[in-house]
Structure 1
Amino acid sequence: MSSTCQRPWILRSGTNVGDKLTSYVKTIPEVQKCLNLAYWNILDLTESSQIKSLFSMSEWEEMVESFNNEVKLIESDINGVVEYFFEEVDKITKKDDKVIINAIDRITPEIIEKNQKIKLSDEENNIITVLRRAVVTYAENLERLDLPISEADFDNAFPNMLAKRFLNREELKMDVGEIACWASAHRRNEDRSVVLRARVGQKCDFRGTLKDSINRLEALIGLRSGGLPEPHQKKIHEDKVDLCVAMRDILYTFFKENSKAPSSDVHSTFVFGIHSWGWVHNIYVMDCKATNVLRLGRISHARMPNTLKTLSVLESFYVLFTDLQATLNTICERTNNISVSHSRAHRNRKRKNSEHVREKGGSFGNPSQTPANKKSRKYVGP
């Protein structure tokens, strides 16, 4: 989406981040462009980023600090009953493997009340029920694990299962399988002749759409890289790039659909991506900081339990997804307000000198198109 408005990101040192990325992209060999996030206008702020060497240490720290201050999860209030439940799980996992699953299945609200000498509310009873079902399901899937296991089977048994159990179905429509990102499909078919075959969107394995969002924002998408045994590093890196490009397309579509909303509000929008491989589980977040500068950061890096003895690790996943859900609720409210501002733009048409007239629509820039020789893309380390 081209725009006459330019939104630069100038660091304290005077460095223009957008210009630095543009200069770097020109040095990338054609066959390597697809696998370099910088080509897609994405500034990877994760610790394994290739682009870190372009900036001084102080500049890099400034960019990371800015991102962490502006893009983060909401820390929700976690009910104390969660701690009580996983204390019971921790005790049980110290026993023989053969009794662990049945013992966890017998953790009832009455057991918690007796051991902790408390009285639980209906909400706390429901939390225990959700936790017990999720942990028992995970444990059963783990016990039945027979290698090798396909990508789809692992995804549905572990990462997708946790997301569907711990996220709110009433507020988030969750789709799993070989599905396409709708925003990616929209971007790929933009200005494309109607007589040509429609292009599908970037593939993802999990898609969470905000039900109450005016724009049906795909605020959370996920991609699984292979089953078990763990795939080669090339596959992991390729899938990370594909996930990030889809996240970029979601933001691009949102910017385009709200071109008359206040710029600062539009640029405050961010979306999430889940990437997993082996037993590793990462959650990324992306926003558009400036023209042709999208920031990618990692807000979570964890390992899923791979034995019955480590099931209590799932406590961190419950907390993580609870914070994620709270943040998604805020994103839904914020993006709806942005859409309302966009729809009310007619009010300010004649107020040229009014304080109501502000910079509109943000400045996403021009999204990079897929190189013609994508199939021959060459891997050059993460």
Structure 2
Amino acid sequence: NREEGKQEESRQFVGPQTSDPSDLSSPKTNDCQEVNEKINDYVEVEENARDSNGQFVERIEDYKTTSKTCRLWVLRSGTNVGEVLARYVETIPEAQKCLNLAYWNILDLTEDTLIRPLFTANDWEEITESFEREVTLIESDIPDVMIHFFNEVEKITNKENESIIKEIERLSPEIIEKNNHVELTNDEKDIVDNIRRAIITYAENLKGLELPVSESDFDNNFPKMLTKRFLNKEDLKMDGGEIACWASSCARIDQKCDFRGTLKNSVNSLEAIIGLRSGGLPVANRRKILEDRIDLSVAMCDVLYDFFKSNSKAPGGDLHRTYVLRIQSWGWVHETYGMDCKATNVLHLGRLSQTRMPNTQKSLAILEGFYALMSDVKATLKAICDHSNKVSLSNSRAHRDRKRKNSVRNKQFGSFGTPSESLKKSKLRDDF
């Protein structure tokens, strides 16, 4: 029995053992897909014959896909995207499935080495065009006063002096008016005051930065601080907490989200945006960035699933046009993603924007890009809120179809699909 136990332990490590685990921390490449493959090669499963033995936990819900509601995504070439993903998932080893977004029915458009080769060039072009057309950041109207303000910040940072913070503190709306020969409205003056306070706080935190910096400290002083200042608190309830998604609760880790935005005016209290900071400084290992990316993606998937379940009688076209956002940052990089449910068991996921944050006081002027991004996010969240309420209204009026002959029979409902299961026990090696 002892010999059998040793043999069982020797089979716990899944994947080829020819690569050197230390390669994961090597800065030779930034290819996330290569990191993904290496991580999958070093997954350790706690196999227990009397307990999990690699079994999956089934999620039991009252919302099930039927042949009547099944919605296919067939490209112009005749390729069924759902079938392609399903065949690919069958090739993934059981212990590695939770670490692959395709297993969660998510078509990751940033996946260049694993997912893209599954489709022809024309099919992939059609897929990406579909995402860019249906999941977008709305371009907001950027006020001229913001441009004037950051032009003044650039002048200050270009000077050879050590009083950058004091100079920005004195950058009042009156100085903006004088230097640019304009007259500002009260709303524009409020914009100047809001941006100035945020930049001063950012610059002071930057001045006192001492390495190493923890994940929570960096986020509270930089990305999350700016995000909360620039988004609309009247429309968005912003807080932090656990990502209560199926993957995090059952699969690997007790993940925390640094930022969660719930639409206050949404009938379903839709969590339209989720954010996560992946490590402090120095930059976190790419393994953690990948884990956070998976957890955030599955959390978005669960948000959409709940929305579909709550509005199952709404028109399918309206349901499938609903999408949510996520933000993820590591180092000085800040990325925004979007996701929608394109068809049954097929979710779109793609990057909407990427911006960098200043790492010195001399580069404070590049915060203009971050402010413009948050302005677009704010406009997009308002559009998501309006759309979700229209879907809920349609769902509440489903009884009207009873009076219309054959209307229910011919009506096309939404179809999210069957949520994926999670391993009872699985974890990544801590020592690779």
Deviation of 1:373 (Å):
3.3
Task: Indicate the residue corresponding to 2:87 in structure 1.
Answer: 23
Distance 2:409 2:388 in 1: 20
Task: Indicate the residue corresponding to 1:328 in structure 2.
Answer: 381
Distance 1:237 1:50 in 2: 15
Distance 1:59 1:284 in 2: 22
Change beyond 3 A, Cα 1:378–1:346? farther
Task: Indicate the residue corresponding to 1:3 in structure 2.
Answer: 65
Change beyond 3 A, Cα 1:343–1:250? same
CA contact under 8 A between 1:31 and 1:373: conserved in structure 2? no
CA contact under 8 A between 1:288 and 1:364: conserved in structure 2? yes
Change beyond 3 A, Cα 1:61–1:97? farther
Amino acid at match of 1:370: S
Task: Indicate the residue corresponding to 2:36 in structure 1.
Answer: none
CA contact under 8 A between 1:275 and 1:281: conserved in structure 2? yes
Distance 1:238 1:181 in 2: 13
Q: 3-state DSSP class of the match of 1:259?
A: coil
Task: Indicate the residue corresponding to 2:138 in structure 1.
Answer: 74
Task: Indicate the residue corresponding to 2:306 in structure 1.
Answer: 253
Change beyond 3 A, Cα 1:49–1:241? farther
Deviations 1:258-283 (Å, cap 9, x if unpaired)? Answer: 00000000000000001111111111
Amino acid at match of 1:367: P
Q: 3-state DSSP class of the match of 1:170?
A: coil
Task: Indicate the residue corresponding to 2:393 in structure 1.
Answer: 340
Match of 2:119 among 22, 45, 55: 55
Tell whether 2:196 aligns with 1:100: no
CA contact under 8 A between 1:172 and 1:208: conserved in structure 2? yes
Deviations 1:48-93 (Å, cap 9, x if unpaired)? Answer: 4631111111111110011101110111111100000000000011
Deviation of 1:354 (Å):
3.8
Task: Indicate the residue corresponding to 1:364 in structure 2.
Answer: 416
Deviations 1:141-176 (Å, cap 9, x if unpaired)? Answer: 111111100000011111101111100000000003
Distance 2:321 2:431 in 1: 33
CA contact under 8 A between 1:109 and 1:128: conserved in structure 2? yes
Deviation of 1:351 (Å):
2.3
CA contact under 8 A between 1:34 and 1:377: conserved in structure 2? no
CA contact under 8 A between 1:181 and 1:204: conserved in structure 2? yes
Task: Indicate the residue corresponding to 2:54 in structure 1.
Answer: none
Number of residue-to-residue matches in the alignment: 367
Amino acid at match of 1:120: L
Distance 2:195 2:274 in 1: 23
Task: Indicate the residue corresponding to 2:182 in structure 1.
Answer: 118
CA contact under 8 A between 2:276 and 2:292: conserved in structure 1? yes
Distance 1:16 1:22 in 2: 10
What 5-or-longer segments of structure 2 have no aligned partner?
A: 1-62
Deviations 1:288-310 (Å, cap 9, x if unpaired)? Answer: 00010001010111111111111
Distance 1:24 1:374 in 2: 21
CA contact under 8 A between 1:32 and 1:377: conserved in structure 2? no
Q: 3-state DSSP class of the match of 1:73?
A: coil
Amino acid at match of 1:180: E
Deviation of 1:31 (Å):
1.9
Change beyond 3 A, Cα 1:378–1:339? farther
CA contact under 8 A between 1:305 and 1:311: conserved in structure 2? yes
Matches within 5 A, 1:277-288: 277-288=330-341
Query: TM-score, length-normalised on structure 2?
Result: 0.81
Change beyond 3 A, Cα 1:301–1:186? closer
Change beyond 3 A, Cα 1:201–1:358? farther
Change beyond 3 A, Cα 1:211–1:369? same
The alignment-based identity, stated in percent, is 59
Deviation of 1:181 (Å):
3.4
Deviation of 1:226 (Å):
0.7
Task: Indicate the residue corresponding to 2:426 in structure 1.
Answer: 374
Distance 2:202 2:254 in 1: 31
Change beyond 3 A, Cα 1:356–1:377? farther
Tell whether 2:92 aligns with 1:40: no
Change beyond 3 A, Cα 1:219–1:379? farther
Distance 1:78 1:240 in 2: 30
Q: 3-state DSSP class of the match of 2:422?
A: coil
Query: TM-score, length-normalised on structure 1?
Result: 0.91
Task: Indicate the residue corresponding to 1:192 in structure 2.
Answer: none
Change beyond 3 A, Cα 1:376–1:320? closer
Amino acid at match of 1:90: E
Distance 2:382 2:150 in 1: 26
Task: Indicate the residue corresponding to 1:291 in structure 2.
Answer: 344
Task: Indicate the residue corresponding to 2:316 in structure 1.
Answer: 263
Match of 1:180 among 220, 230, 242: 242
Matches within 5 A, 1:153-302: 153-176=217-240, 179-181=241-243, 184=245, 203-302=256-355
Task: Indicate the residue corresponding to 1:308 in structure 2.
Answer: 361
Amino acid at match of 2:427: K
